[in-house]
Structure 1
């Protein structure tokens, strides 16, 4: 049975359905980033409310790390579970479920209740774990759906556009936090000697619950999306249904689809994790997992040092009068980083990835990150700790290189290299490995001495460059079926 419909997908001109898929899938990443990164100003507020925080006595590191790690643990579990189920029951059937978990987790975080500090924080941790499971489920599904919808000429750019929503999600969470803090802070007396600010307890809940809005806006469109043609044709072996679904999506008729180049369905029947699977795909799975693991150790741990260096360079670093002022400054830092490095890096990746290739920009990104970290870390005690403003700019460069390189490509490559019946599973495994690295980063790396941390980060980035050399092929300009062969 010929699979001309897949060939037509690869050669289809860019049209409305592709941009709609970017928005629908991208809003998941937008919501994910909103919640994963909004916790930084939230923990600042929690410190003031429950730990009598002042600029000199921050929230305990163990509590802050736990709030980050519990969501990352949920994300890893969600990637594994939804990744496997995405290959067993289909991408579309689970797409709405992942979003419902995100919405339930968002609202639950806002309604974290209890009779004491411990109960409230435990409740918040539980709902952040639930939120993380939904976020984890969204990663392999969004990446795979976009890769299977896209034409091969623009597939990398489309997936980079989806991933860029992470930067916009971070910016949105920062803007919402700043607006809420300004509104609530207008009527609050600016004195650290005042009683615990009850308004702050409402403010942090409101910030978290507002993150449900983009998820609600895209839920209907997710439920209306047809199953991807590649899953229907290659996994369910229903080519007729795949053709009919693509007629609804692509601006072409059935006869035009039938005129495409003839492809034959794969006759392979090897099982997941069988000897043949590892012979054919084990090296790529190891490369995807190891590079994502190494990247996330650095990516999720460096914001902590970045915030320290930023406030070192500010003359008003110890003048936060209220809980709202302190949270506002943390959110402002995240907004600055999103606008100056993360979003520009993603935009650069959008334009480069289908021209230069995934592996080149990933390797170059790792190399440039390693160079900057070594350049900061080795002479840190003699020079850089006395020039925090210049140091902050260099930190911004590492964020740009990450988003123009491995932070984007580690999301894209697992959705391109594996067969359709293992695609979300392998993406989930690679993503879960990344989140394991992230947990190591937020729990262990931030507690090390700063110069040592910087040098270790440089070594990790160098190892990521070596890991990139393990990939068996470049996926630029090739169809997903050619990658499988």
Structure 2
């Protein structure tokens, strides 16, 4: 039997050019666009379709971290992240150029809600279509939507004679952009999960999600770079763009300032087309998902042909290593028995056996609606907190970075009350040769005099309002300074820390139990936001405001180290192939609904000049995050098996991932207490994870009541435990051999 080490040795002998050639897309690599990897295989009778399924999964499991699949998925996700978070750069410019007198911030709310509503539609629609029509038919269409919306928005205008409304055009294009962004979530997650090996699945998906904070960094950096480059090249960075000083500039300078600022936001939006075009080219190189072909189309022979075409080198290595290890017994290359079995494969259930369940049966009869409810609720609560400050961040970040409440000089002209006066006047009249001097009076309204009053008004005064584009904490800045500060605050406070959080998770994701870490990270964020809200009350608008910035930056680090990434990964793992994209789309759509809700709720709080709105909002976020931890604890199943080795100094043991096929067995298998082994799969008929509110509540009570009293537990006959020959309690579901394979005990939270 071949081992992964022998296959790795063979793979190391590949030349550098061969490795590059395997990664390249058309027309340079081994998978040109004109070859559809899903071309029909020659009609042959499948003697045992289950063997072909094992062969497909075996090739996947020995393929390692596939760079090509990663680039295909990551490039699209990077494009969508950039386009979504570019609003933090362009919204102040749009307000300054096109609705400079408005102070209600409703146009920004309309644009953001339209984008998120489009994401909801895209996630639901494309998730469902992906399961109905296949992955490949939809993969790339969402990027066409992104390119269409990006080009359209970058050319939007009011018309030469103001016969159109640019705000309406922007909302229109942002909705379709949101559809493309939303569609990318289920598509990229499903493609990555189904093409990845069991060993590297979680790491590949975490690496794909790394593109979200990277897109945030690029949006802020490109916006800052375009602004600085255009303004400094034309010598405009120090000139006023409004007020008395602006009026003193020449007409040519005024026009140059306004046209340059108008070019900045169009460049920032338009740049998003470049990675989208490259991503479309890459996606022609990916065939239909073999798992979809096996489990939904029910054509395993077609799946193995597509898999061998997509990963020819891995298939050849597997065959050659098996032939050389068989001591002269030559095996036919097409024989599935000639392939080594991955550690997770020996007990892999046959997906075809479970393929007859309808949506209603799988979710409502078999109880898997709890999985969908858990992923949807967790994502809703996460995005409720994450997007509350993430998608419209300039003003909240300016408040965090403010060292004092500025006093703004305000000049008001107050008219006096209008008065009516009697005005006498004398005139001379001649009548019949006689001269008469007459005195007459009339009533007249005196024009009101004006009184000019100059006073200092605090920026937090409820009567003080500034236009949407201005930074309320320092409305005297010009747009160049304001946008530069926004980009600096965003990169330092949000983007870099989020990027580091995602990077750390990629490094440790195989050494921590994902379900337990999701629960713990929700709780950590809940506690941290409560602390941040309290610290903000004591230190905001003072020299100690740096503490607020550090605490908030650490919150962004925790978001991507925990729930923000894991809520993207888990829905692509725990559902069967035929419902995987639909369920991921539903879960992601619930997240965007949470983002819409928080944007509407905060429109009258954080967006107004309320000095206590920010600390109250951040402190309140601790409640939904704690609720998210609760639902993850009771309904999310374990995704990994026990460690494969002993812990070493400064290094945790690796926790192998369960196969997608094992996780797809659902709630009844994960929560089943029947430990009788199925002779077909060699698996127990249940894992006895004790999911659900009642089980978790009982286990918690037992733990608190009998903590440290193992003998009492063993004699009490408590659920989930049985007594061994030594009298010690043994968790039901343990593999008697102590195996580290998929047959073993599952982890408990």
TM bracket (short chain):
over 0.9
Alignment map for 1:448-463 (pairs within 5 Å): 448=605, 449-463=613-627
Matched, 1:341 2:497: yes
Alignment map for 1:42-81 (pairs within 5 Å): 42-52=90-100, 60-81=104-125
In the alignment, which residue of structure 1 is the partner of 2:381?
Answer: 294
Greater Rg over alpha carbons, structure:
2
In the alignment, which residue of structure 2 is the partner of 1:33?
Answer: 81
SS of residue in 2 equivalent to 1:469: helix
Alignment map for 1:121-160 (pairs within 5 Å): 121-160=167-206
Structure 1 position 21, deviation (Å): 1.1
Structure 1 position 224, deviation (Å): 2.1
Residue number among 158, 164, 167 corresponding to 1:114 in the alignment:
158
Range with bigger deviation, 462-471 or 203-212: 462-471
Structure with more relative contact order (C-alpha pairs < 8 Å, separation 6 or more): 1
The answer (yes or no) to whether the contact 1:79–1:431 under 8 Å persists in 2 is yes
Structure 1 position 321, deviation (Å): 4.3
| Cα distance in structure 1, aligned partners of 2:134 and 2:86 | 31
SS of residue in 2 equivalent to 1:301: helix
Q: Output one character per residue of 1:135-192: Cα deviation in whole Å (capped at 9) or x when no partner.
A: 1111100000000011111111100000001111111111110111012212226113
| Cα distance in structure 2, aligned partners of 1:245 and 1:59 | 58
Q: Output one character per residue of 1:418-448: Cα deviation in whole Å (capped at 9) or x when no partner.
A: 0100000000000000000011122213533
| Cα distance in structure 2, aligned partners of 1:430 and 1:131 | 20
The answer (yes or no) to whether the contact 2:77–2:184 under 8 Å persists in 1 is yes
Give the number of the structure whose residues are more often strand, by fraction.
2
Range with bigger deviation, 160-169 or 360-369: 360-369
| Cα distance in structure 1, aligned partners of 2:163 and 2:481 | 22
Alignment map for 1:293-442 (pairs within 5 Å): 293-303=380-390, 304=393, 306-313=396-403, 318=474, 321-378=477-534, 380-384=536-540, 386=542, 387-442=544-599
| Cα distance in structure 1, aligned partners of 2:374 and 2:549 | 31
The answer (yes or no) to whether the contact 2:150–2:272 under 8 Å persists in 1 is yes
| Cα distance in structure 1, aligned partners of 2:297 and 2:117 | 32
Matched, 1:282 2:328: no
Tell me the TM-score normalised to structure 1 length: 0.93
Q: Output one character per residue of 1:259-302: Cα deviation in whole Å (capped at 9) or x when no partner.
A: 24575233231222346545342111000000000000110112
The answer (yes or no) to whether the contact 2:516–2:633 under 8 Å persists in 1 is no
| Cα distance in structure 1, aligned partners of 2:296 and 2:357 | 13
Structure 1 position 256, deviation (Å): 7.6
The answer (yes or no) to whether the contact 1:301–1:446 under 8 Å persists in 2 is no
Change (3 A) 1:472 1:168: closer
SS of residue in 2 equivalent to 1:454: helix
Matched, 1:214 2:275: yes
In the alignment, which residue of structure 1 is the partner of 2:456?
Answer: none
- Which structure 2 segments of 5+ residues have no match? 1-48, 247-253, 320-332, 407-470, 606-612, 641-656, 666-749
CA RMSD across the alignment: 2.3
The answer (yes or no) to whether the contact 2:221–2:487 under 8 Å persists in 1 is yes
Structure 1 position 380, deviation (Å): 3.7
| Cα distance in structure 2, aligned partners of 1:235 and 1:59 | 53
In the alignment, which residue of structure 2 is the partner of 1:201?
Answer: 262
Equivalent pairs, count: 479
SS of residue in 2 equivalent to 1:112: coil
Change (3 A) 1:36 1:153: same
Tell me the TM-score normalised to structure 2 length: 0.61
Range with bigger deviation, 98-107 or 189-198: 189-198
| Cα distance in structure 1, aligned partners of 2:384 and 2:163 | 30
